[in-house]
Amino acid sequence: MPNRTKILFIALFAIVISFVEYYFSVQGEKSEGKVTIRILDSSAPSDWELASRLTGRNILTEEGIQLENISLAQSSGGTISIQSLLANNVDYASSAWPAWINAISRGGKIKAVATGLTTSKSNPGNGLVVLEKSSIHSVKDLAGKKIALNVLGASADYEIREYLRRNGLSIDLVQLIVVPGPQIEQVLRSGQVDVAAWTMGGGLDYEIAMNQGGLRELPGTKRYDIRGETITMGSGFRDDFIKKHPDIVKHFVTVVEKSKRIIWDAFQKDPQNVKKVYAELTSAKGGNPKLANYYRPIFSPDYPFAQDKDIQWWIDILVSEGKLKQGQVLPSSVYSNEYNSYFKK
């Protein structure tokens, strides 16, 4: 074969190879764009639903994200969300940090790439609540008293322990009583318990109870007073999903972050309008629109991104209780800010 022919053949072959690579690259991009993220359904509006209604824009479409709502027969909750994620029933889940840490310590291949429920000076959570006429006025008066909280082993449990410890008291001096969130106000007002803690993160049950009057909060017992600035929840994917669809993950995290900031800004300007829109969305989803009266954003620009200390706080507790070995789980194995376009190192 003449040299000129060989050169032409090689050039043609290179062009064909380049075309094939380009073709499959484009197909890969198209395939990536068609990925549907499965999430757990809820009667409460999501941040992106609320942000889209407030702005008249489709936040999901802007980032090329498609979602599929998955309904479960079981009651909702962070632990069930993580279990569903591990079982590949959903692609995205949210929970407080202990569920993430426990799953990862047992070999679960998951990672939180977005966060929620910020505690900060502007969003301090709730403290310990007593009846207005109660004889309890300080931490010293808590000895021998019953405190209602939503669940043992979660944030409120350990925040109460830390509050008592700082004031020289043992958890053994009080009795923690588990009561479902919506019933805590009732058992407090009826005198079945002396103190209500709820989740210590604020929330509808706390807001509704305080709005009814006849209650007061013990000074210095809010979550912010006990823990300072912190983020108590994470949201994320399985490692295999992140590895297979990194761009989709980045775009979805952008949806989450963009929505939180839109809602925060709108709430500062006109909280009643945000509550009105929230009520409309809740009603359309079969929820109780009256709960919108107590809605407030869970995001705060005071503390927008998770830090190692948020997760380490829980790791230290689990190590102290013998549920984890020292160094078994590191914060970096639980969460990452690298997929968050709003995060700047």
- Residue 239 falls inside a structural domain: yes
Domain boundary among 227, 258, 278: 227
The answer to whether residue 8 scores a pLDDT higher than 70 is no
325: left (phi over 0), alpha (psi -120 to 50) or beta: beta
Q: What is the chain's length? A: 345
Flag whether pLDDT at 115 surpasses 50. yes
Tell me if 71 is assigned to some domain: yes
Q: Are residues 138 and 52 in the same domain?
A: no
> Could you tell me which residue, 254 or 20, shows the higher pLDDT?
254
Q: Which residues of 200-216 are buried (b: 16+ CB within 10 A; e: fewer)?
A: bbbbbbbbebbeeeebb
In a domain, 199, yes or no: yes
pLDDT tens string 54-72: 999 999 999 999 999 998 6
Look at the chain and report how many structural domains it folds into. Answer: 2
Q: Check pLDDT > 60 for residue 12.
A: no
Let me know: does 296 contact 117? Beta carbons within 8 Å.
Answer: no
- Tell me, yes or no, whether 116 lies in a domain: yes
- Do 50 and 111 reside in the same domain of the chain? yes
**Residues 292, 161 share a domain:** no
Lowest mean pLDDT among 33-37, 209-213, 281-285: 33-37
CATH of the domain at 160: 3.40.190.10
Asked if 324 and 249 sit in the same domain, the reply is yes
- Do 218 and 264 have their domain in common? no
Same domain (yes/no): 196, 259: no
Average pLDDT value for residue range 315-335: 95
Q: Are residues 174 and 90 in the same domain?
A: no
| 143 and 237 both lie in a single domain | no
Residue range(s) defining the domain that contains residue 41: 35-120+230-334
Q: Is the pLDDT of residue 293 over 50?
A: yes
Q: What is the pLDDT of residues 204-230, one digit of tens each?
A: 899 999 999 999 999 999 999 999 999
The per-residue pLDDT for 69 is 92
Write the CB contacts of 9 (distance below 8 Å, at least 6 apart in sequence).
1
**pTM value?**
0.82
**In the predicted model, what is the mean pLDDT of residues 303-313?**
96
